[in-house]
Amino acid sequence: MTERIRLENGSVTAEIAVMGAELRSLKHGPCEVLWQADPKFWGQSSPLLFPICGRAIDNRVSVDGVDYLMTIHGFAMESRFTLVDTTPDSCIFRLEADETSRRLYPFAFRLEQSYRLEADRLDCRTRVENTGTRLMPFSFGYHPGFALPLPGVTGAHEVRLLNGATPAPAEQRENFLTGGQIPSPFDAGRLAIRDETFFPSSSIILAEGAGDGLFYGSGNRGLVIRWQGLENLVLWRPQQAGFLCVEPWQGLPGLIGAGPELAARPYSLTLAPGEAREFGLSVDMAAL
């Protein structure tokens, strides 16, 4: 069984696996709001995406003309993190470059992931640092899957962007970007969670315009999810799956025809030596 760290603060509890520093359980009282990794649809709950988000064409990226194997969402979710610190309601994990990571991603880095519980709320913070001596391109994203329906929440579920916008999703072809857009499925920021909403593609990729938060639920009951430092938003739900993934990203899948260069992937970032970038995600459960 995967080693886990358990956090508790009042009525909120969480469990985080050392493998991938992945959030595996998030409960408000007895109610589990996180998808519980049924492999029939998806065997994870909330992986961290680094150093790419989405797929690379032919599972390859290039750095200075050298190709490297890079499977979907990168290698962090399959890496064992080090537990740096823990309290009853918080923990910090760290992943640093080693011989294994350098065969896939030839950079020196430090990724620190923290989780903290407050009343009715989970806060996640991520810090990515370039500990090497050359420019380091990367992407980072969160990938939490939330129960559908949410426990105790009746009625048709929807997403409501807090900014009320109607962003147009990126056009996709076989999980990669074409560079075009498709008509927005949002109506004044609202998106119904139905099978037909996620067809023919199971994901809606918003390169821009989603703002920094959304409500997920039905009526006035649900979750408020916010993010910081992340420009992109992906909503993913395979047909008939009992979850919705709400995925704020900084970086997108490969662009058809753009080539494999890692630094050229859409919305990727580059850190100078010694530079760091921070990201955040919060889940507020007060409205459950």
Mean pLDDT, the chain, rounded, equals 97
Mean pLDDT calculated for residue range 145-172: 98
Mean pLDDT calculated for residue range 274-279: 98
The 8-class DSSP code of residue 150 comes to P
- Percent of the chain at pLDDT exceeding 70: 99
Question: For residue 67, what are the contacts with CB-CB under 8 A and spacing of at least 6?
Answer: 60, 61, 260
Domain tally, the chain: 1
| 62-120 residue pLDDT tens | 999 999 999 999 999 999 999 999 999 999 999 999 999 999 999 999 999 999 999 99
CA-to-CA distance for 16 and 125, rounded, in angstroms? 14
Q: Which residues constitute the domain of residue 19?
A: 4-284
Residue 75, pLDDT score: 98
On whether the CB atoms of residues 219 and 180 are closer than 8 A, the answer is no
Residue 2, pLDDT score: 65
What's the CATH number where 26 sits? 2.70.98.10
Tell if the pTM clears 0.85, that is, is over it: yes
| pLDDT of residue 1 exceeding 60 | no
| 31-76 residue pLDDT tens | 999 999 999 999 999 999 999 999 999 999 999 999 999 999 999 9
DSSP assignment string, 158-189: EEEETT---PPPEEEETTEEEEEE-----BTT
| pLDDT of residue 158 exceeding 90 | yes
What residue has token string 């990126």?
Answer: 170
Nearest to 88 by CA among 5, 8, 4, 3: 8
